[in-house]
Amino acid sequence: MEQFRLPQINMPRMELPASIRNVLTEAEEKLSHRPKLLQLFKNCFPNTLETTTKLMDDGTTFVITGDIPASWLRDSVEQVMHYVPFAKEDAALQRMIGGLVKRHIQYIHIDPYANAFNESANDWHWNKADVTDMGPWVWERKFEIDSLCFSMRLAYAYWKETGLTDIFDAGFKSAMRIIYELFRTEQRHMEQSPYRFMRNNGIRQDSLANGGLGMPVNYTGMVWSGFRSSDDACDFHYNIPGNMFAVVALRHMQEFAEWVFRDTGFLQELKALEEDIHHGIQLYGIYRHPEFGPIYAYETDGFGNYCLMDDAGTPGLLSIPYLGYVTADDPIYQNTRLFALSKANPFYFEGRAAKGIGSPHTPEGYVWHMALSMQGLTAVTKEEKLEMIATLEATDAGTGYMHEGFLADDPAVYTRSWFAWSNSLFSQLVYQAMKEGIL
């Protein structure tokens, strides 16, 4: 739930690139028989560009989350991922997406432990009393393993789609080294990490125990994370979907090292780290569930303790194939998916209006629109995909946009009316269904 807001940044309205206008025209033709879905798509698809994006004078791009005047590494990537497939022939999109990659590289150099940043060194913070090593650029300094992975995800997608290499300068390679060294340090968090975080606001999920160090963990080869993709503290600090994402990010970084920077030594270092993490996931991250069989745990500490749940945020267990760690037909993933979409998951809720995955970040009984979109994006049948689209269409509370969480019994009760990531993920699902011809 929302705690504290600084005044909203006045973001200039960005003119829509030609390729994005073309998508909206295509939707008018293909969704004309579903007027409400069409209007939702026309609202949500350009929402990031129209309301949260600012092209900076230095050639970078600043993207706020929506109702919070800061840029999350994770959110800002997922806010623009649905635009990447249209960037190859669109210089305006190249400027925007490439500029966001460059902005991320600047932020990683400022503080690789931070999850959210300001537009300038204005010393704005989510909570000025946080007990950690803050700086004027940093809005929040919750270390979440996925944040750095998302930066590499966007760079890789941009490169593969456009073939452009303008983002790969010395600063980019230096940021890769920073990520690599941080991951190596956090493999042995208890012994080597300088990172601490406490927020004395009385909310357990906002602080790390043990004087800000976190609960003890055993060495596993995986990378320690302080917080989840929901910005809530981990129970056991090896977040499995986050480490899966790190494996994928390291594979991307290996391609950068081999084909862009021609650095075979760094390539081998990245490969060895990827193998460490992957081995740790397979050895420590699989739980033998009495009902579902072998499933991926959400978190573990390496001492035999497990957190069995899924959260609506990405990376989560549901999003494993979306991130590229395994394919959707992987047997353990399918077992895990059955678990996540059942009442065995303590954050799966069913109500009169919807059923799906929520989060400890929002009240009990709240389903997240992002979880419904992700369920559709990772579905193996068109029937499930269409069911998710229908549920999303029916639960916007008449606002024309997606939200964060909403009460499963009453979608009119919801959190975050302006949450661009949710709008983008919904748009990605609907456009995918349009291209598949199933709407």
Q: What per-residue confidence (pLDDT) applies to 13?
A: 78
In a domain, 71, yes or no: yes
In a domain, 208, yes or no: yes
In a domain, 45, yes or no: yes
pLDDT at 319 over 80: yes
In a domain, 103, yes or no: yes
What is the token pair recorded at 33?
Answer: 């028989």
Q: What per-residue confidence (pLDDT) applies to 438?
A: 97
Distance CA 178, CA 208 (A): 23
Mean pLDDT confidence for 325-342: 98
Q: What per-residue confidence (pLDDT) applies to 14?
A: 80
Query: Is 369:354 a contact under the CB 8 Å cutoff?
Result: no
Query: Is 231:361 a contact under the CB 8 Å cutoff?
Result: yes
Please give the tally of structural domains in the chain. Answer: 1
Across 9-18, 53-62, 422-431, least confident range? 9-18
Distance CA 315, CA 326 (A): 13
Q: What per-residue confidence (pLDDT) applies to 5?
A: 46
Q: What per-residue confidence (pLDDT) applies to 9?
A: 62
- Write the CATH number for 244: 1.50.10.10
In a domain, 79, yes or no: yes
To which residue do tokens 């949500």 refer?
44
pLDDT at 6 over 80: no
User: Which helix (H) or strand (E) element contains residue 356?
Assistant: strand 355-357
Provide the domain limits for residue 234. 18-436
pLDDT tens digit string along 298-309?
A: 999 999 999 999
pLDDT at 2 over 80: no
Distance CA 267, CA 278 (A): 16
On average, the pLDDT of the chain sits at: 96
pLDDT tens digit string along 43-93?
A: 999 999 999 999 999 999 999 999 999 999 999 999 999 999 999 999 999
Distance CA 340, CA 353 (A): 19
pLDDT at 8 over 80: no
What is the token pair recorded at 264?
Answer: 């075979």
pLDDT tens digit string along 208-261?
A: 999 999 999 999 999 999 999 999 999 999 999 999 999 999 999 999 999 999
Residues near 267 by beta carbon (within 8 Å), at least 6 away in sequence: 254, 257, 258
Q: What per-residue confidence (pLDDT) applies to 202?
A: 87
Distance CA 144, CA 111 (A): 12
Distance CA 406, CA 428 (A): 20
In a domain, 12, yes or no: no
405-407/410-414 β-pairing: antiparallel
Q: What per-residue confidence (pLDDT) applies to 177?
A: 98
In a domain, 11, yes or no: no
pLDDT at 411 over 70: yes
Mean pLDDT confidence for 152-160: 98
Mean pLDDT confidence for 162-183: 98
Query: Is 373:426 a contact under the CB 8 Å cutoff?
Result: yes
pLDDT confidence band for 269 (50 / 70 / 90): very high
Mean pLDDT confidence for 157-165: 98
pLDDT at 1 over 50: no
In a domain, 2, yes or no: no
In 92-248, DSSP assigns E strands to 116-117, 138-140, 238-239
Listed residue (66, 207, 52) closest to 129, CA to CA: 207
